[in-house]
Structure 1
Amino acid sequence: MSSKSTETPRMSDDEETHTSVEEIESPVTKQSYKEILMLAFSSLGAIYGDIGTSPLYVLNSIKYPHATPTEEDIFGGISIIFYLFIIIVLAKYAFVVLTYGPNEGEGGQIAIYAKIARHLHFGPKGVIIPGSPQRSDLELLKRVETTNSFMSSKSQGGWKKKPSVIKFISAFTLIVCFLGCALVISDGLLTPTTSVLSAVAGIQVAKPSFSHVLAVSEVILVFLFFIQQFGSATISYFFAPIIAVWLVGLIICGAINISHHPSVLKSLSPHYAIRLLKRSGVDAFGGSMLAITGTEAMFADLGHFGKVPTQIGISTVLFALIITYLGQGAYVIKRPESLPNVFYESIPGGTNSWFYWIMFVLAILSTIIASQALILGVFSILSQMINLDCFPKLRVVHVSSSYVGKVYIPMANLLLLIGVCATTAGFKNSNNVTAAYGLGISLDFLLTSLLLMVCFVYVYEYQWWVSAIYCLIFVPLEVCIIISNIKKVPHGGWFPLMMCAIFFSIFAFWRYCRSKTVEKQLTSRVRITDIFPLLKGKPASTVVDLGHKSYVDSTDISMNEADLSERETVEDEPNQDVKFDERSPFKLVSTNYGNVELSTKPGVAIIYSDNPYNDLSSPNSVPGVYERIVRSCASIPSVVIFCTIRVLSIPTVASEDRILVGATKIPGHYNCILRFGFMEQRVSDETLSQEILRQFPEVDRLRSSMSAKIPVLHIFEADKIRSSEGDEEILFTRNPLTWTVKYLRRIMIDHVFSPVNAIFQHDDQYVRISNEDDERREKIFVGGIMRI
């Protein structure tokens, strides 16, 4: 018996609570000046070690027109470095890129791509791009129609909005994004190698007999990657003071050397840069651009510290570096023979002074820190790639409750350690590795510019001439830098290109296979009317939010929010049976052998899925795994729960907000969303499972009618993915090229993608049952062959 509620229903109050949880998922926080300055200081120890240690090897890497550089040559080299700082580091990255590039606080080319894809409504299938408008979990649970999308699309107008142009932009930006991310990861292999080898080589300047540079470098690198597990916040607090002291030491060295030859300040005039470029050509950029390595990592690391702290940090670092290069130039002008080891020889007091060994120790520590920027950049990029389903779902550990972008990826850290140690062993000394260094970074500069120009037009809807002006200012310089570095290819520049090709292939292959898999999953969802033939033409009667014991009348599909406030409260009826009655349209199941009567057994089945939006967005269909169960067994537990796990962008979720439930159109079948904060361990243990069951009246009635424990089955979909090309199709292909492509496609999907995907896609790792015997009985994997 039901009666109208005369008071404001509990549902409304709780809806406000849940809505607030949704709203604080992407909080707009205003930082105090103290927090900004503390973050700026901390960023010294995580972002600027790379660019901050460039004085170790830059000035002697520049190609001068004379074997022994003249005063004008040195002035020209310093002038080029100075204006690269101004144009690339400050104007482009600190001002333009950090302002227009980030997406939801994250940086890197993947962030720019995500922003473009979000505004143009393209991107990886089955993925919610960060920042996209989306329905709350409660709205998804109450959804009763599928005709209208909640995402608005921009009106079509002009050539840039034509479908063919949008399709091209979609492919172009994805390719550029993958190339950019691959180049940053390639730099992640070279940067630690370059920095550490250059610093340890300082021992040979003071002690020429020392011959263990490589061994010491490898030990330092192992230590560097070992401490990554403590998180960027902890590491930066220890590293920031070291970099700060290092920068002070650089300023002291530079100021003392400048005082001996003040005329070096004339090199700040662009006149000398232009004259050197006339004599040496663009080759002068090949060495001088090494002074700005680490700039691309600064953008990739944005999620760890934020925009304003990063801008403050880079301004401070550049001041120290300019003083340092001016001081080194002043020293070389007086002693040209010191150029090969200008950093260590220009330290005041000589190679045996106490100040020399202080700077040497600081150099070693700073080069360890220098690698930190690229390592954090790799973590940030891979984390975003995982979120966009463009990389296997490695375990991502959030190391800060204040910033969702601060992450650590154990598997990536291990693989990067192996790669860096192998790279260091291969190049052996700093001279070899600096010959390979720079090409990948210069290409990365250009790719960022290409994405930004697209972003100006489509995201910010600026006039085309804004992108044209940006292009005229930055792109010609970046192209010149690339040309100067292409000559490094025979001398080691091939290495970053090779690694870029490998990483790009991994990204593209994984995205292609996942796209085909998600497409197959979406098309394999089964309409309820195809399973229950008697249901055709009959509307659903109710949609229920069982978490609040409130029933919502949804016979009218066009119900609006005002209608939802008018609901009836139904008292629990202990004697009500959950079996389908004879008139129920859910009594019969359609199979290949005709209609079969569906029976129910006392118990609960929880069917898990990893994508709430794909599974809840269509209330008229069910996952393919459910179809397999009912058509194969013709018997189901009396309560079936479709459960999804969702991670919010807040640190923790209150216990009262963790579980959201709602009814489906099938009696005894419900949707459930488990919500966790990014700092919480995603585990559904026995306590949480019992809490889920307490949300449902049917389970309470089962408990009262059964003396034994209610049987609970945890069901996971475990399809084996195989290539759609069969043996016969490949065998009868006449074209050798087509045959080769199809055969390789089958090999890669069957023996590479399928096993790797199986490792990282299963949700059973999140469901823990205390007793091992119970786990074997209660966990069931249902699946078949999915051909893509």
Structure 2
Amino acid sequence: CSPLRSPVSSAVSGLELSMEKAQHKYVGLPVTCAILICLFALQHYGTHRVGFIFAPIVCIWLLCISMIGLYNIIHWNHHVYRALSPYYMYQFLKKTQKGGWLSLGGILLCVTGSEAMYADLGHFSQRSIQIAFISVVYPALVLAYMGQAAYISQHHSFENSYHIGFYVSVPEKLRWPVLVIAILASVVGSQAIITGTFSIIKQCSALSCFPGVKIVHTSSTVHGQIYIPEINWILMILCLAVTIGFNNTKHLANAQGLAVITVMLVTTCLMSLVIVLVWNKSIFIALGFLIFFGSIEVMYFSASLGKFHEGAWVPITLSFIFMVVMSVWHYGTIKKYEFDVQNKVSVNWLLNLGPSLGIVRVRGIGLIHTELMSGIPAIFSHFVTNLPAFHQVLVFLCVKSVPVPHVEPEERFLVGRIGPKEYRLYRVIVRYGYRDVQQDDLEFEKELINSIAEFIRSGGADQNGFVEGSEKLSSISSGAIPLWEEGGDGEVDGPASPNKEINQQTVAPQRKKARFVLPKSAQVDAEVRSELQDLMDAREAGMSFILGHSHMKAKSGSSFVKRIVINFFYEFLRRNSRGPSYAANIPHASTLEVGMVYQV
């Protein structure tokens, strides 16, 4: 919250120069809160409509502060460049000792915001951020801070302590234009923090490290521009609470400083692991990197901890709360998956039922979601035991988010057969990267049916025998046979997107109706044609979705901590989080939820 709120409050602080200190609470705080509320309220529109003005605003701001800094250097103290020497840093710490060491926590504010650029990778690439920072941002900031130092070196006495800051070093005739530019630039900076937060939450949710949230894609062309309503309003409430509760720039600075240096220290530690495990470099190179950067960051980190009671406790408290939420969710998700694996139904049990599976087979396609990549989920046996009827074509669908940014379309679908071909049982695994944008429901339906048909056409029908454990999956790309044709306008009853993500640009009241057909000119043998025709007939009859609705309970005899975590914390998060990703757009008339109690 502090990195998000600080740009706005810092920009608004320029209004305080022309007012008495008693009047600050009537201007600074209300204006800051108003800007923050407007900023969060407009998030659902996306940044693509106004994003074109962000670059000019930032460029004007960087040019402005660099020119003002250069003016102050020339006008007030052109020898200030000597402060770049590490010698003066050593002399400062030697002379001030403990006081100078504690002041390092405040110096961190000079670099806050830099970590947000790398969190906003949804909009920019890593290389573009590095080039922009080294060639434009860093020189402008150095000139700005050197200019302030040059001004302060000639103005040791101030009328009021709150007059010490950026705006006091701005020439008086330029203060109001600079204030306007600063407020606009602060909005852009805060927007980058919000967007970066959305991107991180999306990736954590895709990796099962955060409860399910609704993800809205606000742009049909830029996939990185997303909006998460729940996170947006939580951020707004936290920012307003911190702004109103503290109303003290010093305490907010301490909170932000500790948050930033903690991120940097953790990044340095993780980077040393990347050097060894990913880049396969010598461990001595990693140790040298860790010691050089880590020693500097530990010094700043210790100085920030010294201000724990002066506002630095806020980021620690918030990080602890979010760490508990993420840990509980991840732990519960793992336990749920382990229960599914331990209680999955043997494929031999299914095969012993015969082609009819011992139940009445009705027309249509039954799409059964499962987290398992092999075996039969327990919800299927639970369903057929209580309702002995099912569809003529069964598809066990597993949607997986893999720990890579993107999955190529030709590698997205893995299709296999369960049992002999007359059983009409298929397994489809759909893989998405944590930064992939999933198709809408109609597009996903086309891809799903086409991948199964292509699997049948390319030789899947030759798998007549089956031995448990020998199930094979094939990577299927777009089929060589077009299996649908577009008809007139109308609503399409089809499967949902395999994600909770919604693209605002693709929502329309009327859409083209797709009719799945098998072309007569397709060069396939009679047996394959028969299986393909069964698939097309089943699709024309309709597709139903069988979703598992689990309730987690700790086993009897579990420890007290486990009972609290599973029965209360995890269940609370599950009930208040978004449903399964594939359930976002499923027609309610085509959905059946099967409830089960998981004893973990």
Which TM-score applies when normalising by structure 1?
0.59
- Between the two structures, name the one with larger relative contact order (CA 8 Å, sep ≥ 6): 1
Question: CA shift at 1:499, angstroms?
Answer: 0.6
For residues 779 and 250 of structure 1, what CA distance do their matches in structure 2 show? 58
Question: CA shift at 1:601, angstroms?
Answer: 3.5
For residues 15 and 250 of structure 2, what CA distance do their matches in structure 1 show? 15
- Aligned to 1:297, what secondary structure does the other structure show? helix
Question: CA shift at 1:337, angstroms?
Answer: 2.1
CA distance 1:723–1:749, shift in 2 (3 Å) = farther
CA contact (8 A) 1:264 1:326 kept: yes
CA contact (8 A) 1:392 1:510 kept: yes
Question: CA shift at 1:332, angstroms?
Answer: 0.9
1:266 aligned residue (60, 76, 82): 82
- Aligned to 1:606, what secondary structure does the other structure show? strand
1:413 lines up with 2:232 in the alignment: yes
Question: CA shift at 1:256, angstroms?
Answer: 1.5
Question: CA shift at 1:341, angstroms?
Answer: 2.5
- Residue in structure 2 matched with residue 609 of structure 1 by the alignment: 369
- Sequence identity percentage: 26
- Residue in structure 2 matched with residue 360 of structure 1 by the alignment: 179
For residues 436 and 647 of structure 1, what CA distance do their matches in structure 2 show? 35
- Residue in structure 2 matched with residue 346 of structure 1 by the alignment: 169
- Residue in structure 1 matched with residue 34 of structure 2 by the alignment: 219
- Residue in structure 2 matched with residue 242 of structure 1 by the alignment: 57
Q: CA RMSD in A?
A: 3.3
CA distance 1:601–1:268, shift in 2 (3 Å) = closer
CA contact (8 A) 2:364 2:541 kept: yes
CA contact (8 A) 1:457 1:467 kept: yes
CA distance 1:255–1:754, shift in 2 (3 Å) = closer
For residues 392 and 412 of structure 1, what CA distance do their matches in structure 2 show? 11
User: How do 1:74-85 and structure 2 match up within 5 A?
Assistant: none
Question: CA shift at 1:203, angstroms?
Answer: 1.0
CA distance 1:280–1:298, shift in 2 (3 Å) = farther
CA distance 1:663–1:533, shift in 2 (3 Å) = closer
- Residue in structure 1 matched with residue 305 of structure 2 by the alignment: 486
CA contact (8 A) 1:605 1:712 kept: yes
Residue identity matched to 1:678: V
Question: CA shift at 1:324, angstroms?
Answer: 1.1
1:686 aligned residue (488, 492, 497): 492
Question: CA shift at 1:680, angstroms?
Answer: 3.9
CA distance 1:692–1:418, shift in 2 (3 Å) = farther
- Residue in structure 2 matched with residue 752 of structure 1 by the alignment: 572
- Aligned to 2:164, what secondary structure does the other structure show? helix
For residues 414 and 304 of structure 2, what CA distance do their matches in structure 1 show? 56
Question: CA shift at 1:335, angstroms?
Answer: 1.0
Which TM-score applies when normalising by structure 2?
0.76
Residue identity matched to 1:784: M
For residues 235 and 428 of structure 2, what CA distance do their matches in structure 1 show? 39
- Residue in structure 2 matched with residue 206 of structure 1 by the alignment: 18
1:195 lines up with 2:1 in the alignment: no
Cα deviation digits, residues 80-133 of structure 1 (max 9, x gap): xxxxxxxxxxxxxxxxxxxxxxxxxxxxxxxxxxxxxxxxxxxxxxxxxxxxxx
Question: CA shift at 1:746, angstroms?
Answer: 4.5
For residues 703 and 225 of structure 1, what CA distance do their matches in structure 2 show? 47
- Residue in structure 2 matched with residue 279 of structure 1 by the alignment: 95
1:715 aligned residue (540, 545, 553): 545
- Residue in structure 2 matched with residue 668 of structure 1 by the alignment: 424
CA contact (8 A) 1:404 1:650 kept: no
- Aligned to 1:302, what secondary structure does the other structure show? coil
For residues 450 and 703 of structure 1, what CA distance do their matches in structure 2 show? 55
Question: CA shift at 1:674, angstroms?
Answer: 7.4
CA contact (8 A) 2:379 2:596 kept: no
- Aligned to 1:360, what secondary structure does the other structure show? helix
- Point out where structure 2 has 5 or more consecutive residues left out of the alignment: 446-490, 496-512, 519-528
1:257 aligned residue (72, 95, 104): 72
User: How do 1:248-327 and structure 2 match up within 5 A?
Assistant: 248-260=63-75, 261-281=77-97, 282-315=101-134, 316-327=136-147
Question: CA shift at 1:295, angstroms?
Answer: 2.1
1:724 lines up with 2:554 in the alignment: yes
For residues 703 and 318 of structure 1, what CA distance do their matches in structure 2 show? 61
Residue identity matched to 2:572: V
CA distance 1:674–1:490, shift in 2 (3 Å) = closer
CA contact (8 A) 1:725 1:742 kept: no
- Residue in structure 1 matched with residue 486 of structure 2 by the alignment: none
CA distance 1:608–1:635, shift in 2 (3 Å) = closer
User: How do 1:68-217 and structure 2 match up within 5 A?
Assistant: 189-208=1-20, 209=23, 211-217=26-32
CA contact (8 A) 1:401 1:679 kept: no
Residue identity matched to 2:81: L
CA contact (8 A) 1:391 1:510 kept: yes
Cα deviation digits, residues 506-554 of structure 1 (max 9, x gap): 11111111111112222232221123447xxxxxxxxxxxxxxxxxxxx
Question: CA shift at 1:701, angstroms?
Answer: 6.1
CA contact (8 A) 2:105 2:303 kept: yes
For residues 522 and 323 of structure 1, what CA distance do their matches in structure 2 show? 60
Residue identity matched to 1:530: W
CA contact (8 A) 1:721 1:750 kept: no
CA contact (8 A) 2:517 2:536 kept: no
Question: CA shift at 1:431, angstroms?
Answer: 3.1
Question: CA shift at 1:671, angstroms?
Answer: 3.7
- Aligned to 1:622, what secondary structure does the other structure show? coil
